[in-house]
A and B are shown apart, each in its own frame.
Chain A
Amino acid sequence: MLRIDINLVFTIINLLVLYFLMKKFLFKPVNNIIAKREEAIKKQFDDADEAKKQADETKKQYEASLADAKEESAKIVQEAKDKARVEYDRIVKSADEEVTKRLQKAEETIAEEKAKSLRAMEAEIEGLVVAAASKVVGEKVSVENSQKLYDDFLAEMGEK
């Protein structure tokens, strides 16, 4: 019933053969595929990390450029405002100058006109005075006399 013979050796050979067969056909492919999958998963995680890092960087850059742009626009607006202010000042100043000039010219004209009319009036009055005087003094009065009379009169008037 109990026998131990050469079959023990066969069993050991069988076991060794089975072990190597299993190793080649079962464990190697299965463990291989699992290792490969783990590697792939690890790679995906790494890729995701990389992508996130890149996205963060891009975001930072974008934010920085946005801030730059804001600053730039503020600067441009400020510049435009400054320029406008200068232009405004210039225009207002030139307008003022113009006005002043015109006013001056008008005043000059008025003064001139006034002087002119004054002279005309003087001439008129002179004529009138001469006429009146000649009427009062009579026909005898010569031109020199009347001229003298007129001057006296004027002097008298001016003194008054």
Chain B
Amino acid sequence: MEEIASELKAMLNVDTAFTIPVLGGIEIAESVVITWVVMAVMLLFAICMTRNLKVENPGKRQLILETCVTGLQNMVKGIIGEEGKQYVEYLVTVIVFIGISNIIGLFGMKPPTKDLNVTAGLAVMSIILIEYAGIHAKGTKKWLHSFAEPVAIIAPLNVLEIFIRPLSLCMRLFGNVLGAFVVMELLKMIMPAILPIPFSLYFDVFDGLIQAYVFVFLTGLFIKEAVE
């Protein structure tokens, strides 16, 4: 039992992949390195798929690409509305990034979203984008005024929301992925073959994609609220 606990703890720990020997050593976490892998995969996919696109008679490859890209864009646009069109591309990037990050456990890598740094980074980006969208759409004065709506007395709560929203986004994603990771590691310890398959389908694939969708859905919703 002790052994399992210590092993699990070792698995849960976010290792330092390497240290850059400047400024007293900058520790680069494993999750960041895996993020690079995900980025490389996405970039390669994008470059390979967008080679010689045609206006007329698109090939199968191009049709699949167009369906995927426009489908995701339309999905996000449906959440965010017409006013937030310029944020669609970022949100699509994020949903694909989180989706790949969450299911990368299938390929034997630790999901980067298991690291609080990554989910916190995503959440910080989200809240910056939300508030930026609010300021961009309404102007600074109106944006500040929107904290005192519908009545001035709830202004502290609205200000608090600036911190609560990213915190909930960050922790939801982190908790889900970490929990799924723990469950999967335990299952793999009990029985490495067959048994993890259905659980992996649920925890890695289903839950991973759902969490990616939820993250983007909530961010989109907040942006929509901010620009209205």
Residues of A at under 8 Å CB distance from B?
Answer: 1-12, 14-19, 21-23, 25-27, 29-31, 33-34, 36-37, 40
**B28: which A residues are within 8 A, CB to CB?**
7, 10
**From DSSP, what is the main secondary structure of chain B's interface residues?**
helix
Q: Are B27 and A30 in contact (CB under 8 A)?
A: no
- For this complex, 26 residue pairs linking A to B, each with C-beta atoms less than 8 Å apart, are A1-B12, A3-B14, A3-B116, A4-B117, A6-B26, A7-B27, A7-B32, A8-B117, A10-B29, A10-B117, A12-B124, A19-B89, A22-B89, A22-B96, A25-B43, A25-B50, A26-B49, A26-B50, A27-B69, A29-B50, A31-B69, A33-B53, A33-B54, A34-B66, A37-B56, A40-B56
Q: Which of B30-79 contact A (CB under 8 A)?
A: 31-32, 35-36, 39, 42-43, 46-47, 49-50, 53-56, 58, 62, 65-66, 69-70, 73
- Given A18-B39, A26-B50, A30-B50, CB of A1 within 8 Å of CB of B9: yes
B187 close to chain A: CB less than 8 A: no
Which residues on the A side are within 8 Å of B117 (C-beta)? 3-5, 7-8, 10-11
Is the Cβ of A26 less than 8 Å from the Cβ of B27? no
List 19 additional contacts besides A11-B122, A25-B43, A40-B56; criterion CB under 8 Å. A3-B117, A7-B27, A8-B120, A8-B124, A12-B124, A15-B97, A15-B125, A17-B39, A18-B97, A19-B93, A21-B43, A21-B46, A22-B43, A22-B92, A25-B46, A27-B73, A29-B53, A30-B50, A37-B55
Minimum C-beta distance from B144 to chain A (A) = 25
B204 within 8 A of A: no
Q: Which of B55, B118, B124 has the most chain A CB within a 10 Å cutoff?
A: B55
Shortest CB distance A141–B (Å): 141
Tell me the complex Cα distance, A33–B66, Å. 9
Residues of B within 8 A of A12 (CB): 121, 124-125
Are the CB atoms of B39 and A6 closer together than 8 Å? no
Closest to A18 in B: B39
Q: Are A18 and B55 touching (Cβ within 8 A)?
A: no
Asked if residues B124 and A14 are in contact (CB atoms below 8 Å), the reply is no
CB distance from A112 to the nearest CB of B (A): 106
Q: Tell me if B140 is interfacial: C-beta within 8 Å of chain A.
A: no
Question: Are A15 and B121 within 8 A (Cβ)?
Answer: yes
Residue from A6, A8, A31, A34 whose CB has the most chain B CB atoms within 10 Å: A8
Nearest B residue to A23 by beta-carbon distance? Answer: B89
CB distance from B6 to the nearest CB of A (A): 13
Q: Which residue of B lies closest to A27 (CB)?
A: B89
| Chain A contacts for B14, CB-based, 8 A | 1, 3
- Separation in Å of the A76 CB from the closest CB of chain B? 54
Q: Using Cβ atoms and an 8 Å threshold, which residues of chain A touch B205? A: none
B90 beta carbon closer than 8 Å to chain A = yes
B69 and A26: CB pair below 8 A? yes
